[in-house]
Amino acid sequence: MSEQIFTTVGTRPIRHDGVDKVTGRANYGADLSLPGMLYGVVVRSPHAHARIRSIDTSAALAVPGVKAIITGQDVPLVDVKLGMGEGAMDLKDMSDNLLARTKALYHGHAVAAVAATSLAAARAAAKLVCVDYELLEPVLSVDRALEPGAPILHDDLVTQARPPIEATGPTNIAGRLELQRGDLAAGFAAADIVVERVFRTPTSHQGYIEPHACVARVNEDGRINIWTSTQGPFLVRDATAAMLGLDAANIKVTPSEIGGGFGGKIPVYLEPLAVVLARQTQRPVKMVMTRDEVFRASGPTSATKIRVKLGAKKDGSIVAASASLYYEAGAYRGSPSGAGAMCMFAPYNIPNFHIDAYDVVVNKPKVAAYRAPGSPMAALAIESAIDEIATTLGLDPVEIRLTNAVTEGNLAPYGPPYGPIGFRAVLERVKASDHWQTPVAPGVGRGLACGFWFNAGMSSSATVMLGSDGSAAVITGNPDIGGTRAAQAMMVAEELGIPVERVRPSVADTDTAGFTEITAGSRVCYATGMAVIEASRDVREQLRGRAAKIWGVTVDETRWEHGRVVPVTPSDARTPLTVPEIAAKLAKTGGPIIGRASVNPPMAGPSFAAHICDIQVDRETGVSKVVRYTAVQDAGKAVHPSYVEGQMQGGASQGIGWALNEEYIYSAAGVMENAGFLDYRMPVASDLPMIDALIVEVPHPGHPYGVRGVGEVPIVPPLGAVANAMSHATGLRFTELPLSPPRVLARLQQGT
Amino acid sequence: MSEQIFTTVGTRPIRHDGVDKVTGRANYGADLSLPGMLYGVVVRSPHAHARIRSIDTSAALAVPGVKAIITGQDVPLVDVKLGMGEGAMDLKDMSDNLLARTKALYHGHAVAAVAATSLAAARAAAKLVCVDYELLEPVLSVDRALEPGAPILHDDLVTQARPPIEATGPTNIAGRLELQRGDLAAGFAAADIVVERVFRTPTSHQGYIEPHACVARVNEDGRINIWTSTQGPFLVRDATAAMLGLDAANIKVTPSEIGGGFGGKIPVYLEPLAVVLARQTQRPVKMVMTRDEVFRASGPTSATKIRVKLGAKKDGSIVAASASLYYEAGAYRGSPSGAGAMCMFAPYNIPNFHIDAYDVVVNKPKVAAYRAPGSPMAALAIESAIDEIATTLGLDPVEIRLTNAVTEGNLAPYGPPYGPIGFRAVLERVKASDHWQTPVAPGVGRGLACGFWFNAGMSSSATVMLGSDGSAAVITGNPDIGGTRAAQAMMVAEELGIPVERVRPSVADTDTAGFTEITAGSRVCYATGMAVIEASRDVREQLRGRAAKIWGVTVDETRWEHGRVVPVTPSDARTPLTVPEIAAKLAKTGGPIIGRASVNPPMAGPSFAAHICDIQVDRETGVSKVVRYTAVQDAGKAVHPSYVEGQMQGGASQGIGWALNEEYIYSAAGVMENAGFLDYRMPVASDLPMIDALIVEVPHPGHPYGVRGVGEVPIVPPLGAVANAMSHATGLRFTELPLSPPRVLARLQQGT
């Protein structure tokens, strides 16, 4: 791809939605209230594993103001999948998760929902819903889940067990993926050094600031309106329709602003309940989770156990690798173990490897996607093992990775050969960075780790409207999580040669935007951006037609050049026309102009990242402090560098929190004991240094500007980077997260 | 145009917005409230004509809760026009009408505006705004306005006076239009009968149920949101921007549902005031007119004085016609006198004619458009004169009109030759109607009158989104006044071969819809409908591409047929694909589909109407009662016949009200004395019989389905039909409206 010249792309304009957001004017999920609205509250299981014998709602129904109570009996369980192939979403599980039918599978599992005229009445009634439970032993770890004789969560879960787990009846294994290449035994036989370790990561949560919230209204003619904080308004529409047996064409979903999602606002928890309650009561119903409910009943990411074995030559070249990944799915199948397996060795060209990955159900909330789902835990394992080999062999951590780094033409462990990728460029940038070139301070440990993410494609749509004043509006259907309004406006500005301030980006509802998949998979700037660019080019083509009309020539006699239409044959009578000049004559030349495009591109260009972490440990308390941190990443092309940097800084911050402190602490009964931000310890600004973000740009040839996704890969390296830094700071190898003060202190006191 | 076969067009589905509207769920202009919102109130002139010496706001500013007061000094008067050519809107006048700068030109003219934390505080403060006025004599009729020595409203109004009005200095004549054909003197000389009459119609109001209302918010970054009840959100945006010197690209206008407009919600009265108050206070500002304000300060239609002279042969053929039209413009130029002049003789093929039409300013509110602006008053004059000739000559009222009726190829009085038109078909339908064939009951008078309207084209846009479930959404920018959501959904359904219930029509804001001119001129179903049809066809073309991909053939090997894509060459391997079948494979074949189109068609096909009115008069009280009424009209093609009938019934009802009772009653000081629905007497359902609506369909070749506009022409015949019926009921010729009981009684008592 030849170097492109950009005018707007690569600059840093103020985001169009910025003022609304910083002044509190933007409306989030809980901000809407409608006349006559009821408040919906979910009744949740106080047991982690229990059979539901019966539910008595009579006392609750007697509470003044209560208008409806629903249980699993009110919503038939549907056995359908949404979407096709691997990415299909199992709505049967989602529906049973919505409202437990026969068993409560985790502490916090919804068993009923109440709608009342006030939140207080709804809460009072919820407490009076009497559920007769038969208690069962909870399964709280993959180890216990796989033990012979362990309680089985789903009696019908039989087909997925395969060797080495032998089973004739049902198991807790919901899925298994195996990847291999070459001759593993020969590879290890050829190795000069072999490292084998088992790593564990805890259940941790995305920690978005805004809890799940929605309002549903059912009109007398069956038309339904849902306002909700979601990453996917079209998914909410289609999943709600499928789960309730409704026609999606009768449902309009309006996405609110979204106060974070990170994958956790893809599943549907409240909307169908609100719709059923609204339908029963013929009044709008609002449902808002508390923070406690978000922790207990929305999807965290998997706790994992990962065994990795790595064999290398003395020069650091890896000759063999094997790994077994056990990822907790929570109560229903669907952990990101497969993605973890595919990502784990993706940065390295390893001739002989074997991976098996297990999706294991346990009595915890069903996991949800969390930023590069599955990859950070796998990276922790491989990056720690490489670090250990480098340390043992006395090799530079960057050099050993450069020795093994994949490059264009190498096969990805999951199959296809890589196209142009930026992993080597990222490692070279690390080497050249001020951070890497600055000697490690005394008492500080420095860790390096890398990471990989696929980035997604999928369907997206955009429309671009040109005004007669030469300004433009762009409409998409992706809730703006990471600054995508600004990025999309910039693409329109770039294509039309107009100032970005004169482009108005809007996120529209499902009746107004063209069909667009979820805001996830680092796909919005890539795939939706591609639709925006194509829609803008559709405008450009029409502008050529208008210029041709103005000049009295054919369209073929015009061409687009640097934001203007110019005649193919220069002429005094035909001076080049800018967009505002043509726009001013729209009415006279055939009316307004709308550009539109829809795309469904393949998977986006993969991105690689490398993070450097300097950490200091207080040996008396085990408290650690990140003192310097640098994130390097291949963005392909950074449309708005500030927001790419923001993604890198945000991903690093989340990963650091996950590495150092975040974890669900469970009681033996399976009750989360720290379901609040005071006890679930996320890093705040004062906990972290400024995170330096260094963008590398190796264009992705599948995108007009070379864009890769940027939102996810920055959370992949931090777990390994922090663990490696901690190892160098203490001389001890850490394999279990979080590296919280008690755990670090215990290891320091233990001395090994 | 060959007869088209329609599937959905011509049926009568339930309107998509029906339930929302009948259950009170639809949101109108005054329904929005925002946190921290202020209430804006306008201070209005208590004098019909006065120079503003000074305004003292100090006492008003001291009222607790008052946050801002603005006067004309706060908004510089801009001298710009919006749009081009004849249709350009004079924003200087609109701006001075918004807030009087140097003179109050009518009773109710805005002179200041107050924003306060409560409506009560704002109203209290408004009363304390002290304006020092120098009183001037008000000019309250065209007669007085044209008298030598009459007070002059605008000192700079000099250029528009032409013979026969001789003037060297400024006059009250704001415009004059002259139309002529043939040799008028020779024509009259050849006539066997000549009738000459002077007709007068009063100031009357559109009487929409919903008063003007808006909310404006100005963000810290200068971006502005306006929610308003308007016929033209893009016009509100562009006019507000132009009047306040702002960039229209920074203004987003969201149209509310609209409780009637009829042309009266085209001008901008409140929005710029709300924006200025919101900008000064940095809080949202809501402004809602009272009914009193709607009458006194929003645009009614012109009071008129029309002299007509008609010469005919004994067989009823009209050989000469002349007319002078004097239309009150209200305080600023811009009466529909020109349109009246162009429409007046439009139904008849008159070899010799002369018309001059005068736009005359008087001290009344600036007139606004009112349904077929200018045409009803002109029709009253010509239709009364024809009726008088028919009566005198003993000719049938239908036959005399058939004798003179224009047909394809005849020149319109305003220039071009008619294309295919339906006037003769309408008259034949009248003849064949049960009403016309039923003998007139004793004591009843029957009147016939006809009418003409151009119907408008202008710019419109539409986008159509196809869902993977085969449903579709259609977005336009026209507030739905007459059922246009349903009509647009029907067009999409027709084009895609899907049920209309599976099409979701939306009216979007100015950032989301493509540029679209106002909902007016009977243009929405025609012009915006054309955009909807073209956008649907854009979807169809893309569906052909998808089918080609599914079949592995080129697009040329597919064609569209009856809602399906079929292979050009039939094949067992390629069975025809319906829209839902292709839609289900959208993701696999390239992503979603959006269709888009923008159009700027020329003037739509003209429409003609003829109404039959049977009236009964109580000779003791002068009270009249319409006992039977039939409206016949050429719709071109009725997309949703119920809504075409509704337009015909609504137009007839408004016209009957105008003919019988509606009028502004002014005091000598120029104060309207009946500014409320109790005293301004509009007909209610119990006042009228069921109005029979007979649709004639002579397709307009300029539209894919043959659509003409339908909304305006039904108000054109009623004035004449009622007046003619009254004449036949009483034996007296009535030339002055309204035919209210006191006036009718006086004539009955007078006996001539």
Q: Please list, in sequence order, all residues whose beta carbon lies within 8 angstroms of the beta carbon of residue A58, skipping any fewer than 6 positions away.
A: none
A633 & A662 share domain = yes
Nearest to B514 among A459, A465, A588 (CB): A465
Q: Please list, in sequence order, all residues whose beta carbon lies within 8 angstroms of the beta carbon of residue B328, skipping any fewer than 6 positions away.
A: B141, B142, B145, B203, B302, B303, B304, B335, B360, B361, B362, B364, B367
Structure tokens at B681: 């007497």
Task: Say whether A506 and B512 touch across the interface (CB within 8 A).
Answer: yes
Segment A263-284 shows an average pLDDT of: 97
Does the CB of B499 have a partner CB in chain A at under 8 Å? Answer: no
The answer to whether residue B82 sits within a structural domain is yes
Contacts of A598 in chain B (CB under 8 A): 590-594
The answer to whether residue A201 sits within a structural domain is no
A378 & A447 share domain = yes
Single-letter amino acid code for the residue at A73? Q
Question: Best of B82, B511, B600 to disrupt the A interface by mutation (most A CBs within 10 Å)?
Answer: B511
C-alpha distance from B586 to closest chain A C-alpha (Å): 9
Structure tokens at B268: 């901008």
How many A/B residue pairs have CB atoms within 8 Å? 162
A641 & A743 share domain = yes
The neighbouring-strand residues paired with B558 are B567
Where residue B129 sits, what CATH number does that domain have?
Answer: 3.90.1170.50
Helix (H, G, I), strand (E, B) or coil at A438: coil
Helix axes A718-730 and A375-393, enclosed angle (nearest 10): 30
C-alpha distance from A8 to closest chain B C-alpha (Å): 18
CA distances from B120 to B109, B278, B286, B351, B720 (A): 21, 18, 13, 62, 46
C-alpha distance from B29 to closest chain A C-alpha (Å): 16
| Domains: count for chain B | 3
Contacts of B18 in chain A (CB under 8 A): 221
pLDDT tens figures, A70-112? 999 999 898 888 876 556 778 999 999 999 999 999 999 999 9
Q: Please list, in sequence order, all residues whose beta carbon lies within 8 angstroms of the beta carbon of residue B375, skipping any fewer than 6 positions away.
A: B336, B339, B340, B343, B344, B451, B452, B453, B712, B713, B715, B716
Q: Please list, in sequence order, all residues whose beta carbon lies within 8 angstroms of the beta carbon of residue B355, skipping any fewer than 6 positions away.
A: B177, B178, B179, B180, B322, B323, B324, B325, B341, B344, B345, B413
B401 & B537 share domain = no
Any idea how long chain A is?
752
Give the containing element (helix H, strand E) for A103.
strand A103-104
Q: What is the per-residue pLDDT for A313? A: 98
A310 & A322 share domain = yes
Kindly indicate the confidence band of residue A162, based on its pLDDT and cuts at 50, 70 and 90. low
Does the CB of A248 have a partner CB in chain B at under 8 Å? Answer: yes
CA distances from B262 to B369, B466, B651 (A): 7, 33, 10
Q: What phi and psi values does residue A82 have, to the nearest 5 degrees?
A: -105, 125
Closest CA to B104 of B702, B671, B674: B671
Kindly indicate the confidence band of residue A1, based on its pLDDT and cuts at 50, 70 and 90. very low
Strand segments, DSSP code E, in B8-95 are: 38-44, 50-56, 66-71, 81-82, 89-90
Task: Say whether A511 and B473 touch across the interface (CB within 8 A).
Answer: yes
pLDDT tens figures, A633-677? 999 999 999 999 999 999 999 999 999 999 999 999 999 999 999
Query: Is A668 buried (19+), middle (13-18) or exposed (0-12) by CB count in 10 A?
Result: exposed
What's the order of all strands across the beta sheet hosting B173-181? Answer: B173-181, B353-361, B318-330, B304-312, B193-201
Nearest to A249 among B219, B252, B469 (CB): B469
Q: Within 10 A of A681 (CB to CB), how many other CB atoms are there?
A: 16
Where residue B503 sits, what CATH number does that domain have?
Answer: 3.30.365.10
Residue of A nearest to B507 (CA): A512
Closest CA to B732 of B2, B197, B256, B350: B197
Query: Is B581 buried (19+), middle (13-18) or exposed (0-12) by CB count in 10 A?
Result: middle
What's the rounded Cα separation, in Å, for the pair B55 and B33? 31
Q: Scan for tokens 């803008």, then name that residue.
A: A536
The answer to whether residue B590 sits within a structural domain is yes
Q: What is the per-residue pLDDT for A221? A: 87
Structure tokens at A351: 């001739």
Contacts of B232 in chain A (CB under 8 A): none
Question: Best of A498, A502, A511, A530 to disrupt the B interface by mutation (most B CBs within 10 Å)?
Answer: A511
Single-letter amino acid code for the residue at B86? E
Give yes or no for a cis peptide into A738 (omega within 30° of 0).
yes
Q: Please list, in sequence order, all residues whose beta carbon lies within 8 angstroms of the beta carbon of residue B152, skipping any fewer than 6 positions away.
A: B169, B170, B171, B172
B491 & B621 share domain = no
Structure tokens at B666: 């002014």
Does the CB of A86 have a partner CB in chain B at under 8 Å? Answer: no
Q: In the listed set B547, B572, B599, which residue is the last one of a domain according to the structure?
A: B599
The neighbouring-strand residues paired with B224 are B218, B251
C-alpha distance from B511 to closest chain A C-alpha (Å): 6
Task: Say whether A513 and B465 touch across the interface (CB within 8 A).
Answer: yes
A583 & A670 share domain = no
The answer to whether residue A560 sits within a structural domain is yes
C-alpha distance from A211 to closest chain B C-alpha (Å): 22
Kindly indicate the confidence band of residue A4, based on its pLDDT and cuts at 50, 70 and 90. confident
A122 & A70 share domain = yes
Q: In the listed set B540, B573, B599, which residue is the last one of a domain according to the structure?
A: B599
Query: Is A31 buried (19+), middle (13-18) or exposed (0-12) by CB count in 10 A?
Result: middle
pLDDT tens figures, A408-426? 999 999 989 999 999 999 9
What's the rounded Cα separation, in Å, for the pair A619 and A744? 9
The neighbouring-strand residues paired with B320 are B311
Give contacts of A 320-359 with B, CB under 8 A. Answer: none
Does the CB of A233 have a partner CB in chain B at under 8 Å? Answer: no
What's the rounded Cα separation, in Å, for the pair B454 and B346? 9
Nearest to A512 among B502, B512, B596 (CB): B512
Does pLDDT of A165 surpass 70? no
What's the rounded Cα separation, in Å, for the pair B343 and B379? 8
What's the rounded Cα separation, in Å, for the pair A354 and A318? 13
Q: What is the per-residue pLDDT for B1? A: 45
The answer to whether residue B44 sits within a structural domain is yes
Does the CB of A408 have a partner CB in chain B at under 8 Å? Answer: no
Task: Say whether A594 and B596 touch across the interface (CB within 8 A).
Answer: yes
Contacts of B588 in chain A (CB under 8 A): 84, 600
Task: Say whether A600 and B590 touch across the interface (CB within 8 A).
Answer: yes
What's the rounded Cα separation, in Å, for the pair B718 and B732? 18
Q: Within 10 A of A155 (CB to CB), how many other CB atoms are there?
A: 10
B240 & B229 share domain = yes
The answer to whether residue B169 sits within a structural domain is no
Tell whether the torsion through CA atoms of B357, B359, B364 and B369 is positive or negative.
positive
ipTM confidence score: 0.85
Whole-number percent of chain A with pLDDT over 70: 98
Residue of B nearest to A600 (CA): B591
What's the rounded Cα separation, in Å, for the pair A32 and A288? 11
Nearest to A592 among B473, B506, B515 (CB): B515
The neighbouring-strand residues paired with B692 are B630
A132 & A217 share domain = yes
A227 & A329 share domain = no
Residue of B nearest to A85 (CA): B588
C-alpha distance from A201 to closest chain B C-alpha (Å): 36
Expressed as residue numbers, the domain containing A483 is: 18-25+457-599
Contacts of B597 in chain A (CB under 8 A): 594
Mean predicted lDDT score pLDDT of chain A: 95
Q: Which residue numbers in chain B have pLDDT < 50? A: 1, 161
Does the CB of A87 have a partner CB in chain B at under 8 Å? Answer: no
The DSSP code for B426 is H
Question: Best of A237, A246, A512, A585 to disrupt the B interface by mutation (most B CBs within 10 Å)?
Answer: A512
Give yes or no for a cis peptide into A336 (omega within 30° of 0).
no
Q: In the listed set A599, A618, A642, which residue is the last one of a domain according to the structure?
A: A599
Nearest to B219 among A19, A504, A599 (CB): A19
C-alpha distance from B515 to closest chain A C-alpha (Å): 6
Structure tokens at B603: 């003037």
Whole-number percent of chain A with pLDDT over 90: 90
C-beta of residue B730 within 8 angstroms of C-beta of residue B623 = no
The answer to whether residue B162 sits within a structural domain is no
Contacts of A600 in chain B (CB under 8 A): 586-588, 590-592
Task: Say whether A252 and B504 touch across the interface (CB within 8 A).
Answer: yes
B430 & B334 share domain = yes
What's the rounded Cα separation, in Å, for the pair A260 and A480? 10
Task: Say whether A467 and B597 touch across the interface (CB within 8 A).
Answer: no
Contacts of B282 in chain A (CB under 8 A): none
The answer to whether residue A621 sits within a structural domain is yes
Question: DSSP of B319-362, one letter per residue?
Answer: EEEEEEEEEEEETSS--THHHHHHHHTTTB--SSEEEEEEEEE-
What's the rounded Cα separation, in Å, for the pair B295 and B678? 12
Question: DSSP of A698-713, one letter per residue?
Answer: ---TTSTT-----SSG
Contacts of B590 in chain A (CB under 8 A): 598-600
Helix (H, G, I), strand (E, B) or coil at A69: strand
C-alpha distance from B599 to closest chain A C-alpha (Å): 5
Closest CA to B199 of B140, B142, B138, B160: B142
Does the CB of B221 have a partner CB in chain A at under 8 Å? Answer: yes
Contacts of A80 in chain B (CB under 8 A): none
Does the CB of A512 have a partner CB in chain B at under 8 Å? Answer: yes
Q: Please list, in sequence order, all residues whose beta carbon lies within 8 angstroms of the beta carbon of residue B194, skipping any fewer than 6 positions away.
A: B188, B309, B310, B311, B312
Task: Say whether B596 and A597 touch across the interface (CB within 8 A).
Answer: no
Strand segments, DSSP code E, in A148-242 are: 173-181, 193-201, 213-218, 224-228
C-alpha distance from A9 to closest chain B C-alpha (Å): 21
Buried-exposed string B197-222: b where 16+ CB fall within 10 A, e elsewhere: eebbbbbbbbbbebbbbbbbbbbeee
The DSSP code for B293 is H
